[in-house]
Amino acid sequence: MEKKKLLEVINLETHFTTEEGTVKAVDNVSFTVHRGETIGIVGESGSGKSVTSLSAMRLIPNPPGKIVGGQILYYPLEGEPIDLVKLTEEEMQGIRGNEISMIFQEPMTSLNPVFTCGDQVTEAIKLHQNASNYEAKIRALELFEKVQLPTPERIFNAYPHQLSGGQKQRVMIAMAMSCNPDVLIADEPTTALDVTVQKTILELMNDLKKEIDASIIFITHDLGVIAEIADKVIVMYKGKIVEQGSALDLFTNPTHPYTKGLLACRPPLDYRMSRLPIVSDFMDVEMDADGNRTITEKEASLEEVIESVKVKPEATKARMESLMAKEPILQVKGLKTWFPTERNFFGKVTKYVKAVDDVSFDVYPGETLGLVGESGCGKTTLGRTLLRLAPAKEGQILFQGKDVLSLNHSDMKDLRRDMQIIFQDPYSSLNPRMTIGNAIMEPMQVHGILANDKERKEKVVELLETVSLEARHFSRYPHEFSGGQRQRICVARALAMNPKFIICDESVSALDVSVQAQVLNLLMELRQKFDFTYIFISHDLSVVKFMSDRMIVMNKGKIEEAGIADEIYSNPQKAYTQKLIAAIPKGKTEDIISRLG
Amino acid sequence: MGKHQNSPTAKAWIRLKKNKPAIAGLCWIILVIVIAISGYSIAPDGTPDCDNQMVRIKLQPPGFKTDVALIHNDLNIPKRNIISRMFFGQASQYKSIPIKHHEFVNGTLQLQTFDDDALTYEGITADKFKITQQRFLLGTDNFGRDVLSRLILGARISLIVGFIAVFISLIIGITLGSLAGYLGGKVDDAIMFLVNTVWSIPTLLLVFAIVLAFGRGVGIIFLAVGLTMWVDVARIVRGQVLSVKEMQYIEAAQAFGFSAFRILFKHILPNILGPVMVIAAANFATAILLEAGLSYLGFGVQPPTPSWGTMLNENYGYAISGKPLLALIPALAVMLLVLSFNLLGNGLRDALDVKIKSAS
């Protein structure tokens, strides 16, 4: 069967003008989408994958952005191909929604909160087709059925805040499909969702594609997701396409070192690694004065690199035994954190949200305890309660035998030296008006660690070097650093207190897979060097499994399952855990082969 | 210097410098400040309150020029040094009489005044009088006073009212607003109740009440204006504190065991300075307008002290009876200064990337 061309991007160049100069966000990019195909575009943030798709929609904000060269040819079913770059804004409006439509990452913000979901979908239908209110409603209900929303009538009359994240994304898909577009661009549509929801959305998109004969351009930073959905894959790096080919080829035989790096840096599920391979294991990048990059490939195959960091099961077992031999550093007994939601007339609480509900566990010195669960399961609240950042209602927290919940203010202040937390969002966890040197130094000043500021400064420099930053970064401000660097700064700040115990609350969730690998490796190194005890909280089971010795699965405020990480993964006891594990995109070649048939 | 180049403040300053209207406003404000400080030392009429009345030449147009006979008044007026003259003026030792002709023969001075009266001074020596030429760049008012001098001195009142009122409103507003935002709960409820109550009273009415309770005077105006404007500041600060409080670096600071005081002053307040500066600029403009309005209504600065508002009050009648400039000049001065503060405020809002409405 010969495939018909649908969209052809030829030598596309999109530039952004910033205060620092021109940024080539998309640099000479060419690819073709055929009818009925799913193209996956993968790359880390800043690789130009989103800008490429926005260029095709002609949605680049101008200024600062501008398409400066190239063609985007759209081939309609009948007639001559149309160059989208040359269309006027008015002509483009006819294409948008009708022929090419888009689904965005954030389902929470891409629906208008003051209109019902039904209103928004019928509006889209009426805008592009000559339909009466009644026809539009019928069509909308059909679409809701198609995207497998339960009780379409109810959803039609519901406001966005009444729906879950997955349901909102389904409404968005319904809206995008309302005019039977030829091309559906999905920009990280599942990144903000839990794995289990992600799985159902991916299945839905696969089903729909078959049904309506549309092509999908699927943009993501996660190669695992690509493996679940794409026929063809484009790998982008710093505005350029470094590799493109069929999904199967790419996963079985990646040629570009960057692709190898991306494949290798995902935490594996079926074996243990001492550290994760990173992109720089496969290539070196040098930048000359003009900002041109030269990539030199290293002599290392994917298999060799992975083999070199694998940990033998016997070593894991020995480590577990030596860990469990000690007295627990932290004991949690019957902990409850309930937040009041309703009060009666006299101010008495009548209803609670039970964020953490009767949770008990021990943590042994030197071990890493993983805490995994979907959003809203109470894992973050649990971490905060341990540090008394959220109030506990009942229960006991014993840290080195001391009852944390009954400590007075000054004892608690002393205890904070030993217990530290690293937060999720690297963009908001540093005060933007403080240089990072001062930010790291401040806790030492407050707690009177070291004699004077001169010694503390030296210590800060030492800490910066520990987390692979440099002394010259001392007087820089947070906005000058990338997400991964900021997370290192947060790690350095936590280290400044010489803690024994660190809670990592989704510390790598906001980072790209390749940067995530670097930060995870750093945390692993620090654990060996300083003998830390971690509680590692994440929604991503693969990350938790890589980091943790033991693992707790949480669901609705309660512990669902707890035990040795490898055992839980290989032999989950509870249905909830099984569902969670099944939903992880694994990126295995067998799965791709069976999917592509 | 490399150290501070990239600080958020330095970046905001670079952005502000690119905003031409804001910089024009800033330049005008600085110019007015310099003029106001120089005060008596640059005003043509250096007497206290610029109150040298020459009724014979009242209501002359801008650029008017005449000879003036200065006759020693035999009072012993101490001479002030240059600094205190600049700030408080120097009472004149002479009586000024605008004249057309003069004749001095044997100790008798005969003057033909500007309005054609004949005046004769006998037994006068040559060192007891002098004849000078005076120019009135902006003309004279109803009492024959130099308008330019009064305008220059009037800038002082406007700026001082602005500064003190904004200072008072910031002190009260930031204190109460940050307490309400940071502590929340009952404190928040109580403070917001106070804010809402004060807010519900019409501004002018409140100012009248304060003026009536404490008496008229410049000092009361400062207080009255300041006490009415703090509610805006408090509301904005509270809102900003509430949003910054949710940032993870605040939670991180708590996890490090920092005291509430330290978190508030080192981590929250520096991060809400942007909106506060924007509202301060807007309040400055409001304060100037309020003072002008109050003085116009006769509640503010009392004559003969010149302020732009009192000048309007004294001269608004002429706006429709052939001498519109007398009213227009102070009105224009108020307008330009208020506009400058608003332009600067808008510039600050853009430069600091503040995402709130600038003024209430």
Q: How far is B295 from chain A (nearest CA, A)?
A: 42
User: Which residue from A412, A477, A490 is facing B8, i.e. has the nearest CB?
Assistant: A477
Domain that holds residue B115: 65-144
Taking the Cβ of residue B81 and every Cβ of chain A, the question of whether any pair is shorter than 8 Å is answered with no
> What band does B84 get if pLDDT is binned at 50, 70 and 90?
confident
Is residue B312 a part of any domain in this protein?
A: yes
> What band does B3 get if pLDDT is binned at 50, 70 and 90?
very low
Question: CB–CB of B257 and A413 under 8 A?
Answer: yes
pLDDT single digits (tens) B162-180 = 899 899 999 999 999 999 9
User: Which residue from B7, B247, B256 is facing A443, i.e. has the nearest CB?
Assistant: B256
Is residue B219 a part of any domain in this protein?
A: yes
Final residue belonging to a domain, choices B112, B144, B176: B144
User: Which residue from A431, A447, A476 is facing B257, i.e. has the nearest CB?
Assistant: A447
Q: How far is B280 from chain A (nearest CA, A)?
A: 20
Taking the Cβ of residue A545 and every Cβ of chain B, the question of whether any pair is shorter than 8 Å is answered with no
Tell which of B13, B251, B262 to mutate to test the A interface (max A CBs under 10 Å).
B251
Q: Say what the pLDDT of residue B10 is.
A: 84
Contact list, B3 vs chain A (CB under 8 Å): 435, 475
Question: CB–CB of A425 and B248 under 8 A?
Answer: yes
C-alpha–C-alpha distance, residues A328 and A343, integer Å: 39
For the segment B248-273, the average pLDDT, to the nearest whole number, is 88
B169 shares its domain with B192:
yes
Indicate if the pLDDT at residue B82 is higher than 50: yes
pLDDT single digits (tens) B143-161 = 888 889 999 998 988 888 8
Q: How many residues does chain A have?
A: 597
Indicate if the pLDDT at residue B216 is higher than 80: no
B171 shares its domain with B254:
yes
> What band does B355 get if pLDDT is binned at 50, 70 and 90?
low
pLDDT single digits (tens) B88-99 = 888 888 888 888
Is residue B297 a part of any domain in this protein?
A: yes
pTM for this predicted structure: 0.79
B27 shares its domain with B105:
no
Final residue belonging to a domain, choices B144, B168, B189: B144
Taking the Cβ of residue A428 and every Cβ of chain B, the question of whether any pair is shorter than 8 Å is answered with yes
User: Which residue from A413, A428, A435 is facing B249, i.e. has the nearest CB?
Assistant: A428
Indicate if the pLDDT at residue B358 is higher than 70: no
Contact list, B354 vs chain A (CB under 8 Å): none
- Amino acid B227 reads L
Q: Among A383, A337, A400, which Cα is nearest to A504's?
A: A383
Q: Among A371, A352, A355, which Cα is nearest to A363's?
A: A371
B111 shares its domain with B166:
no
C-alpha atoms less than 13 angstroms from C-alpha of B54 in its C-beta half-sphere: 27
Taking the Cβ of residue B10 and every Cβ of chain A, the question of whether any pair is shorter than 8 Å is answered with no
Taking the Cβ of residue B7 and every Cβ of chain A, the question of whether any pair is shorter than 8 Å is answered with yes
**In three state form, how does the secondary structure of B173-191 look?**
HHHHHHHHHHHCHHHHHHH
B196 shares its domain with B87:
no
Q: Among A193, A189, A235, A229, which Cα is nearest to A209's?
A: A229
Final residue belonging to a domain, choices B144, B164, B179: B144
B307 and B292 Cβ atoms separated by less than 8 Å? yes
Question: CB–CB of B257 and A389 under 8 A?
Answer: no
Minimum Cα–Cα distance from A417: chain B residue = B256
Is residue B58 a part of any domain in this protein?
A: no
A226 and A15 Cβ atoms separated by less than 8 Å? no
Q: Among A148, A131, A147, which Cα is nearest to A139's?
A: A131
B13 shares its domain with B120:
no
Minimum Cα–Cα distance from A438: chain B residue = B266
B121 shares its domain with B152:
no
Put simply, the chain A residues between 372 and 411 with a CB less than 8 A from any chain B CB are: 384, 387, 389
User: Which residue from A387, A425, A479 is facing B255, i.e. has the nearest CB?
Assistant: A387
For the segment B252-262, the average pLDDT, to the nearest whole number, is 88
Question: CB–CB of B8 and A479 under 8 A?
Answer: yes
Tell which of A18, A446, A473, A501 to mutate to test the B interface (max B CBs under 10 Å).
A446
DSSP state of B265: I
Question: CB–CB of A476 and B6 under 8 A?
Answer: yes
Taking the Cβ of residue A423 and every Cβ of chain B, the question of whether any pair is shorter than 8 Å is answered with yes
Q: How far is B66 from chain A (nearest CA, A)?
A: 58
Taking the Cβ of residue A497 and every Cβ of chain B, the question of whether any pair is shorter than 8 Å is answered with yes
Is residue B310 a part of any domain in this protein?
A: yes
B70 shares its domain with B163:
no
C-alpha–C-alpha distance, residues B54 and A139, integer Å: 87
User: Which residue from B251, B255, B270 is facing A420, i.e. has the nearest CB?
Assistant: B255
Q: Say what the pLDDT of residue B357 is.
A: 38
- Cα(first)–Cα(last) distance of chain B, in Å? 38
Is residue B44 a part of any domain in this protein?
A: no
Is residue B51 a part of any domain in this protein?
A: no
B164 shares its domain with B253:
yes
For the segment B207-217, the average pLDDT, to the nearest whole number, is 80
Taking the Cβ of residue B255 and every Cβ of chain A, the question of whether any pair is shorter than 8 Å is answered with yes
Q: How far is B139 from chain A (nearest CA, A)?
A: 50
Domain tally for chain B?
A: 2
Q: How far is A505 from chain B (nearest CA, A)?
A: 11
Indicate if the pLDDT at residue B85 is higher than 90: no
Contact list, B249 vs chain A (CB under 8 Å): 428-431
Contact list, A420 vs chain B (CB under 8 Å): 255-256
- Which CATH number do you get for residue B24? 1.10.3720.10
Taking the Cβ of residue A578 and every Cβ of chain B, the question of whether any pair is shorter than 8 Å is answered with no
Taking the Cβ of residue B3 and every Cβ of chain A, the question of whether any pair is shorter than 8 Å is answered with yes
B22 shares its domain with B79:
no
Mean pLDDT, rounded, of chain B:
85
B79 shares its domain with B222:
no
B188 shares its domain with B328:
yes
User: Which residue from A416, A423, A497 is facing B248, i.e. has the nearest CB?
Assistant: A423
Q: Say what the pLDDT of residue B337 is.
A: 93
C-alpha–C-alpha distance, residues A112 and A367, integer Å: 46
Minimum Cα–Cα distance from B249: chain A residue = A429
Pick the residue with more confidence: B1 or B292? B292
User: Which residue from B7, B247, B267 is facing A477, i.e. has the nearest CB?
Assistant: B7
Burial of A9 (0-12, 13-18, 19+ CB in 10 A): buried
Taking the Cβ of residue B247 and every Cβ of chain A, the question of whether any pair is shorter than 8 Å is answered with yes
User: Which residue from B249, B254, B266 is facing A389, i.e. has the nearest CB?
Assistant: B254
Q: Among B272, B298, B282, which Cα is nearest to B357's?
A: B282
Is residue B53 a part of any domain in this protein?
A: no
For the segment B334-348, the average pLDDT, to the nearest whole number, is 91
pLDDT single digits (tens) B6-55 = 788 888 888 888 889 999 999 999 999 999 998 888 888 888 888 888 88
Contact list, B270 vs chain A (CB under 8 Å): 431, 433
Q: Which residues of chain A have pLDDT under 70?
A: 1-2, 107, 289-291, 597
Taking the Cβ of residue A475 and every Cβ of chain B, the question of whether any pair is shorter than 8 Å is answered with yes
Classify the phi-psi angles of B116: left when phi > 0, otherwise alpha if psi is within -120 to 50, otherwise beta: left
Contact list, B9 vs chain A (CB under 8 Å): 433
Q: Say what the pLDDT of residue A534 is.
A: 92
Task: Tell me if the bond preceding A181 is cis, omega within 30° of 0.
Answer: no
Taking the Cβ of residue B260 and every Cβ of chain A, the question of whether any pair is shorter than 8 Å is answered with no
A258 and A242 Cβ atoms separated by less than 8 Å? yes
Contact list, A412 vs chain B (CB under 8 Å): 257
Contact list, B6 vs chain A (CB under 8 Å): 476-477, 479-480
- Amino acid A309 reads V
Chain A and chain B share a number of CB contacts under 8 A equal to 68
Taking the Cβ of residue A474 and every Cβ of chain B, the question of whether any pair is shorter than 8 Å is answered with no
Residue A469, both tokens: 């930053």
C-alpha–C-alpha distance, residues B87 and A142, integer Å: 81
